[in-house]
A = this chain, B = another copy of it.
């Protein structure tokens, strides 16, 4: 959220959106943060966000924030929770609607946005003190992600279109952070038995060991199964 100046002088009350943008680099779950250039909380890391324009829907505002920062459109976006403590913003009454977005980290390039030079991926469990109530917002969104990734096929949003089963499992392991990692054989059996993955003809390349099969997520198939009452569950 970056509301310096406007708040207090223009709105009696205002609403903003804040965007928890998740990415996965093959090892860790990451969140995209920006470093604030002005007071309040100058130099602190914060969630990207903005005031909602007078003629803008909430979802549209969240899409805009995401696109301005990453250049990406049409990505997964989900409203999570609204934060409205009276004093959460030092310059006035601003309630903020928190969104999760899930992007393929390789699609993101630092050069996409005007303020992108101050944006940076942070490993999820190494995020320090954030501006405003953004630590609380991040917590909420992470909890939501942990639940949702098990009950809807949204993990694929964080992976490239073609991925190996090991990559998929690593994704689940780093999102869920369970005391024990998932069992490799059981995980493969379960995910393949859903018939939501299609095998690609080509194989993984550029690795110094046996290359793995590549798979794609079959969204058509998922929608079809949904209609028949299928419930995704890992």
Contact = CB atoms under 8 A, between A and B. Distances in A.
Contacts of A171: none
Contacts of A193: none
A52 B86 CA distance: 10
A93 B79 CA distance: 19
A76 interface: no
A228 to B, nearest CB: 13
Interface stretch (A11-19, A22-30, A102-110, A211-219): A11-19
A36 B134 CA distance: 38
A57 B79 contact: no
* Copies in the assembly, this chain: 2
Contacts of A57: 84-86
Interface residues of A, number: 21
Interface of A: 10-15, 52, 54-58, 79, 81-82, 84-86, 93, 95, 97
A29 to B, nearest CB: 22
13 contacts: A10-B12, A12-B12, A13-B13, A13-B14, A13-B15, A15-B84, A15-B95, A54-B93, A56-B86, A58-B84, A58-B95, A82-B97, A95-B97
Nearest to A58: B84
A93 B52 CA distance: 11
> Considering the complex of A and B, which 6 residue pairs feature the smallest CB-CB distances, nearest first?
A58-B84, A82-B82, A82-B97, A57-B85, A55-B86, A57-B86
Contacts of A58: 82, 84-85, 95
Contacts of A82: 58, 79, 82, 97
Nearest to A83: B58
Nearest to A10: B12
A85 B58 CA distance: 7
Contacts of A81: 79
A114 to B, nearest CB: 26
A79 B82 CA distance: 8
Nearest to A60: B86
Given A15-B84, A57-B85, 6 more contacts: A13-B54, A57-B84, A58-B82, A58-B84, A58-B95, A95-B97
